[in-house]
Structure 1
């Protein structure tokens, strides 16, 4: 069986690391990188570090408006599918690469496998929500990470081809987190410019990421978030996403943030280490909420809703407004019920279940 897999953004590389390792034992896979994330720290380093097979094809689409980016992907992916003639196309998550892959395949009757199907924030203003809803509608196999995702699809009348396999991101976190203790703290911090000299001082830290459009569309919003970070009771390590970089640079020209370490985007293993050792994670990323939960690190999510509602149990994850006072309050004063925790995302065998379904 031949499968064309589409990846294009950082979380998808991690998911592909978990799935391709199992999938290639029995199936032929053609790995296509759309180039949605294209600099080394957001892309190439993941293939090297996680031992993912190098992409067979790189479309090098790069940045652009949603329409331009998706259109270029559609053209490129369709040409690949016409040439490769796969049995399935496999897409992950909710990015423009996901939607482009699913649309290109469905138009020429190639069945679509959607890994991470059924997630819902019920906020159709989010591009990610639009992508995941549309992709689910045209997929043949909908591989859900949780029972909640299965229920979401059932409410929408989608029951055929739906399976709860667990979360492939959980596979990756459990697999790669075993490597973290093989190296000392100095190793991870020395790789991050500006943190190498801070190692003796950083006994506690927060890890933060900010990249969602609703938080980065105005410099004032980014300013509120940075003000919150600067008011916290431990330093904040803040890998700056390319989407956030210009606003951050503008704000740093007129403000001195002495509680924030601004660093370039970090590799997956470095991020896992920083999340595992942090007092809390502060993010608007869907993936990081879940990674923090799996690693038992409390999380504050700067959003009005989350598709990963299981993480909210016992305040292990809590939502905050993009306002300095609310972020500080949620980070420093939230009471967490340690007894309310569960293995919602599986046992690290999601990729194996995926392959079993393809055999059946």
Structure 2
């Protein structure tokens, strides 16, 4: 009923693909923000969503040069723009506001740079009891407090696999999921972040916090090459070694743009469609 000129979709969720399929069926051009990401693991639902959305899209806004090259290797060259990452725009705008308004660290009595932050939610980690157990065992052996805002899916699987005992007398501080400001606050002040989230990997890099990726691959290869991110999978020994040997690299180049991604995307789309 709205008859839009463009359907704008973001990221790699199921709703991203649903929006792309719906728009393509009624011949509405699609613009994909965060296009070109590839883990090269088609067992991940997100990977399927990315590939199909990119091949349906008219305009593809990439967060990095690697993403542009990924599309090129699949024969997608027209309508591709390296605009940078809108998450970087958000972090630059909201980080200081979050640190001023959030009281999460004082409420939890956590001084900055004294704790590790962990997030686990992907099916590959939560739906495999041995993999999830290995992750929790590793977290339990990390020195110091491990702050664990727990995803409902993960919480349910821990109960399902009877892994609650791993939290007894543990250094793991499990809390409910956090809103954006609180999450930015705990991310920016962590000494290290352990995660299977693509977004959190990026935010760690943007905030200058070392990251350990609890997966067997990552879309954000630039963060690994720069030394800010280590891939360990769910292997307990590799995770503990990564935590023990973590170092902050001297350089952190701007691989995700200049913080003006949203402006660039708006300008491109208005110029292409002739709308103001």
TM range (shorter): over 0.9
Higher relative contact order (CA 8 A, sep 6+): 2
Query: What runs of 5+ residues in structure 1 fail to find an aligned partner?
Result: 1-82, 191-195
Gaps of 5+ in 2: 272-276
Q: Secondary structure at the match of 1:315?
A: coil
Shift of 1:253: 4.2
The alignment partner of 2:104 has SS state of: helix
Offset, 1:234: 1.7
Moved more, 248-257 or 212-221: 248-257
| Count of residues in correspondence between the two structures | 269
CA contact (8 A) 1:314 1:338 kept: no
Structure-to-structure mapping, 1:138-287, within 5 angstroms: 138-183=56-101, 187-189=103-105, 196=107, 198-199=108-109, 204-249=114-159, 250-253=162-165, 256-287=168-199
Query: How do residues 321-336 of structure 1 correspond to structure 2 at under 5 angstroms?
Result: 321-336=233-248
CA, structure 1 residues 276+255, in 2 after alignment: closer, same or farther (shift >3 Å)? closer
Q: Which moved more, 1:315-324 or 1:274-283?
A: 315-324
SS at match of 1:128: helix
The two structures, once aligned, show a CA RMSD in angstroms of 1.7
Q: State the TM-score, normalized to the length of structure 1.
A: 0.72
**1:308 aligns to 2:220 (yes or no):** yes
Distance 1:233 1:224 in 2: 17
Partner of 2:274: none
Contact 1:314–1:336 (CA<8 Å) still a contact in 2? no
Output the CA distance in 1 between the equivalents of 2:110 and 2:119. Answer: 23
- 1:125-149: per-residue Cα shift (whole Å, max 9, x none)? 1111110000000001101111111
Alpha-carbon deviation of 1:182?
Answer: 2.1
Shift of 1:257: 4.7
Q: Which residue of 2 aligns with 1:357?
A: 268
Partners in 2 of 1:248 and 1:310 — Cα distance? Answer: 32
Matched residue, 2:2? 84
Q: TM-score, normalised by structure 2?
A: 0.93
User: Following the alignment from structure 2 to structure 1, what is the Cα–Cα distance between the partners of residues 193 and 49?
Assistant: 26
Cα offset, 1:320, TM superposition: 0.5
List structure 1 runs of 4+ shifted beyond 3 angstroms. Answer: 200-203
Structure 1 stretch displaced more, 162-171 or 201-210: 201-210
Partner of 1:343: 254
